Amino acid sequence: MAGEKPPFLKPFLLLLPLSLLFFILLHSRPSATSTSVSTPISFSTPSASSPFIRIRRVFPSYDEYLKLQLNKTLDPRLRQLWATRDWDRKVHVFSQIFSRLQSRHLLSNSSRALCVGARLGQEVAALKKVGVANSLGMDLVPSPPLVVKGDFHKQPFKSNSFNFEFSNVFDHALYPDRFVGEIERTLKPGGVAVIHVALHRRSDKYSANDLLGVDGLVGLFKQSDLVSTEKVDAFGLDTEVVLRKRN
């Protein structure tokens, strides 16, 4: 009959829309094997907000900065060292540090605690060892069950989440003001921040800034009061700075 489509075309025409839909869905899915690092924060050229902080270098993009940090975090030799020979020694030293803070009533067993830049989680293990059960670590690379994934320039937690935050990676912050701002945002009013730093000297090649005086760090805390500064001997870091967020 005139105008009638050949019989072999009918199945083809019926399958054509389904084929097109499958093609669109297939190519619109994100690749499961993608290794690109998404940029969690807006990128801008960092600048020192204090004469006591020196920014080491300028990166062409935030991803380039992250790649440098991940070179250390993912180094198989270092991860093996952190998980074996270093583990007990660091847990022991951190336990002593946290016990001392408990004796000063700056940390309690009921605290919800966060360790910022925790690597494999020795600090978290130490907190749990001294009785702070509700403790968690955060790092670019997660290490379950102690450490979750997160960027210290933009923490993945709600505001006013923690009673206590500890970090010994301030020198790795490309944006020191954002690093501190995120600690203050996620600390509860009355919460305590303890930062270990090295003064007057360069740290390792992965550091993004040099702290030349404790005032450079303290001045970044806009919602907190200084509690104390004192000398410590903590894995190459020599100064402990304790601050409390105002109510």
Q: What is the pLDDT of residue 203?
A: 65
Tokens of 123: 């600090």
Distance CA 201, CA 204 (A): 10
Where along the chain do its domains lie? 53-245
Q: What is the helix (H) or strand (E) element at residue 135, kind and residue range?
A: strand 135-139
- Residue 53 pairs in a beta bridge with 211
Nearest to 61 by CA among 38, 44, 75: 44
Q: What is the pLDDT of residue 35?
A: 29
Distance CA 71, CA 56 (A): 17
pLDDT, tens digit (0-9, with 9 covering 90-100), for 90-147? 999 999 999 999 999 999 999 999 999 999 999 999 999 999 999 999 999 999 999 9
The single residue listed with the structure tokens 């270990």 is: 196
Query: Phi then psi for 163, rounded to 5 degrees?
Result: -90, -20
Instruction: Tell me if the domain spanning 53-245 has CATH number 3.20.20.60.
Output: no
CB atoms under 10 Å from CB of 178, counted, come to 20
Q: Is the pTM of this model over 0.85?
A: no
Residues of the chain with pLDDT under 70: 1-41, 45, 47-49, 200-203
